[in-house]
Chains A and B, each alone.
Chain A
Amino acid sequence: EVQLVESGGGLVQPGRSLRLSCAASGFTFDDYAMHWVRQAPGKGLEWVSGINWNGGSTGYADSVKGRFTISRDNAKNSLYLQMTSLRAEDTALYYCAKDVNYGGTLGVAGFDPWGQGTLVTVSS
């Protein structure tokens, strides 16, 4: 069974940093691109970032470009999101999601499955 388990969320002050992790199991991790998608309280879904199978290609939403960095460690079957200069508007539930396409490249909006999410709250 494919499983994605996020961790690392919490309460952080504006301007500080936080690193999210996603532990993957049940599939060949380096066969797929991976993504972070967030959902602010009571709001819709927003794609945050994606990374191809070997980390050689990444993408970011304009809202986080220059502040967030996505990375992966295929030996540890893990995905990461380093978040810096956090703002109140970054407050959200952050989901880790596996790309639907076998082959590991970016280019579709298909995510399956999703983890349960880790909550990031940015507040003083």
Chain B
Amino acid sequence: QSVLTQPPSASGTPGQSVTISCSGSGSNIGSHYVYWYQQISGTAPKLLIYRINQRSSGVPDRFSGSRSGTSASLAISGLRSEDEADYFCAAWDDSLSGPVFGGGTKLSVL
């Protein structure tokens, strides 16, 4: 059971928008920066969003991050086939004194 909660799957058709949620608590998302990672099948994770809403170098502006209270979201607009991947949220956790991840969301582009 992951400390941060994500839906196991999400889907959309090309051109659509999709939002992936990440739920935590006051000891992690509520008080620390949130990070999002994209992992395409068979490859290492790649930093997508840092400090809640900052896009990593080379990440298109179709990707955006936000936080509200103890939850965070990753929004992807104008879905493309190459967005098909697993997406993980992460935040530092004061109770565990270390980073924690969400269980991951598998995004399918139909």
Residue of A109, A115, A117 near B35 (CB, 8 A) is: A109
Q: Are B33 and A108 in contact (CB under 8 A)?
A: yes
Tell whether A95 pairs with B101 under 8 Å between CB atoms, given A44-B88, A109-B90.
Answer: no
Q: Are B32 and A114 in contact (CB under 8 A)?
A: no
Interface size class of A (residues with CB under 8 A): 20 to 34
Tell whether A107 pairs with B92 under 8 Å between CB atoms, given A44-B104, A47-B99, A61-B98.
Answer: yes
Q: Are A46 and B101 in contact (CB under 8 A)?
A: yes
Check A1 for interface membership: any CB of B closer than 8 A: no
Of the stretches B12-20, B44-52, B62-70, B74-82, the one at the interface is B44-52
Q: Are B98 and A110 in contact (CB under 8 A)?
A: no
Check B109 for interface membership: any CB of A closer than 8 A: no
Instruction: From A44, A61, A117, name the one whose CB has the most chain B CB atoms within 10 angstroms.
Output: A44
Q: Are A47 and B47 in contact (CB under 8 A)?
A: no
Instruction: From A59, A95, A109, A116, name the one whose CB has the most chain B CB atoms within 10 angstroms.
Output: A109
Question: Mask for B27-52, Cβ within 8 A of A = 1, else 0?
Answer: 00000111101000000111100110
Residue of B44, B91, B103 near A109 (CB, 8 A) is: B91
Instruction: From B51, B91, B98, name the one whose CB has the most chain A CB atoms within 10 angstroms.
Output: B98
With a CB–CB cut-off of 8 A, which chain B residues contact A45?
37, 45, 88, 90, 101, 104
Would you list which residues of chain A between 14 and 56 have a CB under 8 Å from chain B?
35, 37, 44-47, 50
